[in-house]
């Protein structure tokens, strides 16, 4: 019997009808089609506070440190999922602060890494929405920089099966796209393919 996949879907966007939100929705519906379970964490609607305070600062001498209850709750929610899928708009060639703060606080020392601690995931799939064009993103080295950064940071956590899907031309400024509805359909199809490829 084929093993059932389970996705922990984390996404960050302030707007509920954003393209990012629609990509997250596509991932949910394609997963349902494929019989893949999804637990969703919509960081903005959940009211996550991304600012790491002293309470959640790692104590490098004590991997057993208790962090704020919220951090332990969010960490425990990931249990039983083999794939993390992280969907975000590229802001300043990086994560939105909301997502960066989630990783800072929840994927913390003594929980996600250090002293035999690990995340439950075997795979991480990043989906990065890029305002600009693929040509420029490659030309200026951003595709390689971001892929390498994401792969090596997940590698540090012991996860080797990591890939980033870039969805380009999300705002049409650098692209000559005649039919944005058609273009968005292609981006949704890319997201669906990524889910299908998990099996």
Q: List residues near ligand FMN by CB under 6 A.
A: 13, 18-20, 89-93, 129-132, 170-171
Minimum CB distance to ligand FMN smaller for 50 or for 110: 50
How near is the Cβ of 100 to ligand FMN at its closest, in Å? Answer: 13
Cβ proximity to ligand FMN: between 171 and 189 the closer is 171
> Which of residues 37 and 131 has its CB atom nearest to ligand FMN in the complex?
131
Find the shortest distance in angstroms from Cβ 161 to ligand FMN. Answer: 25
| Nearest approach, Cβ of residue 14 and ligand FMN (Å) | 9
Cβ proximity to ligand FMN, 60 vs 140, nearer residue: 140
Smallest gap, in angstroms, from Cβ of residue 139 to ligand FMN?
12
Residue nearer to ligand FMN on the CB measure, 110 or 132 = 132
Minimum gap (Å) between residue 157 Cβ and ligand FMN: 25
* DSSP assignment string, the chain: -PPPPEEEEEE--S-TTSHHHHHHHHHHHHHHHHT-EEEEEETTTTT------GGGS--TT-TT----HHHHHHHHHTTT-SEEEEEEE-BTTB--HHHHHHHHHHS-BTTTBSTT---S-SEEEEEEE-SS-HHHHHHTTHHHHHHHHHHHHHHHTT--EEEEEEE--SS-SS---S-HHHHHHHHHHHHHHHHHTT-
């Amino acid at each position: 019997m084929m093993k059932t996949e389970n996705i922990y879907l984390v996404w960050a966007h302030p707007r509920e009808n954003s393209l990012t939100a629609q990509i997250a929705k596509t991932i949910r519906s394609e997963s349902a089609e494929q019989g893949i379970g999804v637990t969703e964490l919509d960081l903005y609607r959940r009211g996550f506070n991304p600012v790491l305070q002293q309470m959640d600062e790692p104590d490098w001498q004590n991997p057993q440190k208790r962090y704020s209850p919220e951090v332990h709750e969010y960490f425990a929610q990931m249990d039983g999922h083999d794939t993390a899928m992280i969907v975000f708009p590229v802001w300043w060639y990086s994560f939105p602060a909301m997502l960066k703060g989630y990783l800072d606080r929840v994927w913390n020392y003594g929980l996600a890494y250090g002293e035999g601690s690990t995340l439950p995931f075997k795979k991480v799939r990043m989906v990065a929405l890029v305002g600009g064009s693929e040509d420029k993103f490659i030309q200026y080295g951003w595709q390689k920089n971001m892929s390498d950064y994401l792969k090596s940071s997940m590698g540090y956590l012991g996860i080797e099966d990591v890939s980033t899907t870039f969805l380009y031309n999300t705002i049409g400024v650098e692209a000559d796209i005649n039919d944005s509805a058609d273009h968005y359909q292609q981006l949704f199809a890319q997201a669906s393919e990524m889910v299908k490829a998990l099996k």
